[in-house]
Structure 1
Amino acid sequence: MKNKKLLISISSAISVLLIIVVSYFIFSYSNNLNKFKEDLSSNNYEDASYCFNNGTKNIILKKTFIKSSEDIITEKLSEIENEYYSGDISEEETVEDLNGLLSLNTSNEEILNFKNTLPLIKDSKDSFDIGISKLDEENYLEALNYFKSVHNLSDCKAQALEYEETCLDKIREPILKTVDEYISNEKYSKGIEYLDSQINSLPDDPKLQEKRDELEKLRLEHLEDYSQKNIDKATARTAPVMEYYKKLNEDTINQFDITSNTNYLIFVNIAEQKTYVYEGSKNDWTLDKTFTCSTGIEGKETPVGVFTVQNRAPWFFSPKYGQGGKYYVQFMGNYLFHSIPFDSDRTTVSDPTLGVPSSHGCIRLSVEDSKWLYDNVQNGSKIIIY
């Protein structure tokens, strides 16, 4: 009798325990499912994923939970489609929502089918495939542009970025090789000119910009070295420059007892590619004009030293170089201040470059600045160049 009562008690206890356990799993199922639906409704896919993973741990109702979750996902997919086609959400927002659904690791076929119909995804896939084809053809610039057009939300974007770097390396390689040849021959201005013509195809490339900065530094060092070496020559032209080399500027101009035969004094800083015009007299000079100029390229550098204005004319033309200049002011032999170069028609500009060495030894100025110099600075005015 006692054993029978004990068995009944144990059986009752087990039944109660089972009821509690089953109730817990039912409650957990219901709670996770409701929270899952709520999170999807508010596009909170991260929390929805957490609820889904918790729900699949329900050993009693796992299959039921998965089936119910898939029904909710299907409803959400239908809602996204309706909002997209009605224009209530953008294409980007649609892709982000679809990616959110895909992150739940449930049945993905319907979601992927819809996603792949979106122009953003389809066009990105097409661009990626064409980019691969162009890459195989070694048409690196076109391939680069196709890879760049792949949208950030596309599944191909990560691969596209890798291929972008491959294309950039292939495009840079011959450019940098040519630049290095200019550097080895100390043709820094030509290297800058060449690099600038190539940078247009890769305007935001940091490596090409770094190379340009390197060229600018080398060019400046070359110009300073050229000035220093020529100033060190013991000639009547360069010796007077030694005293104020690298010290002459607007603040110090009146510390060197510099005289001129007129009320104008011209100072050309080759390293800065600037022409400074001072007005006044000995130890009372005031900066009047600052002109951006272009001096001689490597191998045809503008002479360094102290000169005077000798002559002037409104036009000259050099058959040797196939170009001429307006409003020239002569300071030594064939060395002149003059405008940017023109063709023989006196109208067509053959090279607008200013601010970097680009001449055959003359000092180029803008048309406006060269005319001012021509009109105002008299013969006999002192010119200091270094």
Structure 2
Amino acid sequence: MNSTINNKQKNNFTLFRFFLLCIIFITLGFGVNTYSSYTYNNNMNEFYSTFNKYDFDKALNIIDTTNNSNILKKKQLKADLNSYFTGIVGMIIESIASGDMPESDAISILSEIKKYDILNSSLDSLLASLDSNYKYNPTSKPNSNNTNTNIDNNDTNSSITESDNLTLGIEAFENKDYSTAISYFNKISKSSSSDFNKAKDYILNCKKNYKTHLLAEAEELIANKYYTDAIAFLSSYDTSILSSEDKDISNKINSVEMFRDEYTDHIQAYPNDASTYASSAILQTININNVNNLNIESKTPYFIYLSLSDQTTYIYEGSLNNWKLDKSFSSSTGIPGEETPKGIFSVSGRDSWFFSNEFQQGGKYWVRFMGDYLFHSVPFDEKQTKIVDETLGTAASHGCVRLKVEDSKWIYDNIDDGTKVIIN
């Protein structure tokens, strides 16, 4: 008996030591990371100040020290230097163009930046355009670490070229500094058709990538139920990249606000369920196997789930955690660039017909779920007699959800205002 007790005590002590060691290691790791971030930020602030004062030798020494002593921040260091120097080069270009900076000063600063091995080919190109004696390899790739082969550039002049702006824009794009990238691409004139067309494509990709980043960050906040933070984050995006009236961002904010209101209402109604209510679950794929585990509520006996991957609209009937699949309709949602918004919405309004002069087509039996986004029939001509596009089961609309005429009429007749709509 005593032996058993002693063994249990030893096991408990061993477990205690194990957990204690885990806590110590976690605390040490956190402490090391915190200290690393603190010293890195201090070093970088000192570097920026020093370089801006033209104390180039001291600035380079700060970066060498930071690079050698702070292994955890090497990747961030390269990204921060890339972003900083891209901005500096942009200001130099503007200063040369306005006549505020002599080319000799520009060459001096660019030569110092070259020592950091960050903006390789773009700096080579710029230095060659400013200094006919500068030698570089015109085939080197941005951000490559290849050694220049000292090929003479005989086609140089004393002005910044369209290709320089394109190269710098690409540098900034690859570093995800989309605002700076767009500023470079916008400097390329239509007279340089090849570079201009490339710049247009890059600008579109800048906007697309930036929006993707915004929405992904918002989703992470939503998953952790930080709704107010998500709204604030989406409301403060860079309007030099995206329009201040961007529809996708506006729709997402509206969706998050509905999420927040729903969560608040749910917790007030079911205070004991606060720890288990998972807003992220409501944005996963919903099916008959999990629909009654997601705490989905609707103000009517129905809720609508639209699966973008399946291009199918599912009608569920019932109540909280007591839903059954009633109907499913083949659908057609928005094409790339005009995607149907994801999120949680509710039905608010309907009519038997609309017509769009912009697209020269209309739809029968529409039901609104947000703004000008609707469930409606496949598109008809203005006389309402001829279907102009029968596509279903794949993306084909301008953002609305297209259905068979009889399916849109069923929703029109049976789905009341206030019905929850979930789209993902």
Q: Which bracket does the TM-score occupy, shorter chain normalised?
A: 0.3 to 0.5
Q: Normalising to structure 2: TM-score of the pair? A: 0.36
Which one has more relative contact order, counting CA pairs under 8 Å at least 6 apart?
A: 1
Larger-Rg structure = 1
